[in-house]
Amino acid sequence: MMDLGLKNKISIITGGSDGIGKATAISLSSEGSKVAIIGRNEKKLDAAVKEIISITSGEVIGISADVSNENDVKKMVNNVVKKWGGIDILINNAGTSSATSLENITDEQIKIDFGIKVYGAIYCARNSLKYLKESGSGVIINTTTPGGKASGPSGQPTSLSRAAGISLTKSWAGELAKYNIRVNTICVGLLKSGQHRNRWEIANKENPEYSIENHWKKLGQNVPLGNRVGEAHEAGDVICFLASNRASYVTGTAINVDGGTSPVI
């Protein structure tokens, strides 16, 4: 087994109670990292913390916060530092898909999407920066999508905010390299997540014969690698590696984790 050197590293993961965030928390905690998962739903956070600890026996806490509110972010960061004394790794993962057409897009959709994915990432990075500098080997990883590189029809505002996330990644990587802080993004394609399960539940109510297996098969039919939808841990494990010193010469890059669906590298 490869030792990633993450023992006692202090990690913050926004959007940590489900999907990629929870899978990343499991990966990091399995490697000995102390993990704080952040979300808005305390019930989901509590359940996720219990699940992660049952799997890893690690140090994991949940903190309720809205990352689009900087006061919430400041309190969250202070709670983590008070608990463990610093921050080594920040995973900006909060956000849900929001995709519609030019004719139908609303100002409110844009504000909400950018509030969570762009302002949220900025608030978390800005308020963690002091501690990432003190770490001596700080890491920021932003979760984005291949649509941020090559947007498809009716893909806004998600593709727009994800393009901004990729831009922030490249800018921060250059700016923070002098502090030995690495900044990368993973561009995540189709994965089994709560969002897709919610869509299946809606479809299943209309057609009870439409099973979750049918849903995954339908979604995965255009994925080159195995014609399947990815598992959350397949993104979480990549994030875990990028957070480690095994990736010590990797910064300012955007890695596709999408089964080969993106038209661009």
Which tens digits make up the pLDDT trace of 3-57? Answer: 899 999 999 999 999 999 999 999 999 999 999 999 999 999 999 999 999 999 9
Using the Cα atoms of residue 156, residue 157, residue 158 and residue 162 in order, give the sign of their dihedral.
positive
pLDDT digits (tens, 9 = 90+) for 162-192: 999 999 999 999 999 999 999 999 999 999 9
- Half-sphere exposure (Cβ direction) of 182: Cα atoms closer than 13 Å: 19
What CATH number has the domain spanning 10-191+232-257? 3.40.50.720
3-class state of residue 224 by DSSP: coil
pLDDT digits (tens, 9 = 90+) for 44-65: 999 999 999 999 999 999 999 9
Q: Which of 139, 118, 117, 119 is nearest to 128 (CA)?
A: 139
Helix or strand run (H / E) with residue 260: none
Question: What are 74's two structure tokens?
Answer: 């400041």
Q: Which of 20, 13, 2 is nearest to 58 (CA)?
A: 13
CB 182 within 8 A of CB 251: yes
Q: Give Cβ neighbours of residue 173 (< 8 Å, ≥ 6 apart).
A: 182, 183, 184, 251, 252, 253
CB 156 within 8 A of CB 103: no
Question: What are 185's two structure tokens?
Answer: 């993004």
Phi and psi at residue 80, in whole multiples of 5°?
-65, -45
pLDDT digits (tens, 9 = 90+) for 81-93: 999 999 999 999 9
CB 87 within 8 A of CB 12: yes
Tokens 């957070």, residue located? 243
Question: What residue ranges do the domains of the chain occupy?
Answer: 10-191+232-257, 194-229
Burial of 183 (0-12, 13-18, 19+ CB in 10 A): buried
Pairing of strands 34-39, 60-64: parallel
Task: Please state, in angstroms and rounded to a whole number, the distance separating the CA atoms of residues 120 and 118.
Answer: 5
Q: What is the mean pLDDT of the chain?
A: 96
pTM of the model: 0.96
Q: Which of 92, 90, 85 is nearest to 182 (CA)?
A: 90
Q: What pLDDT is attached to residue 193?
A: 83
Number of neighbours of residue 234 by Cβ within 10 angstroms: 15
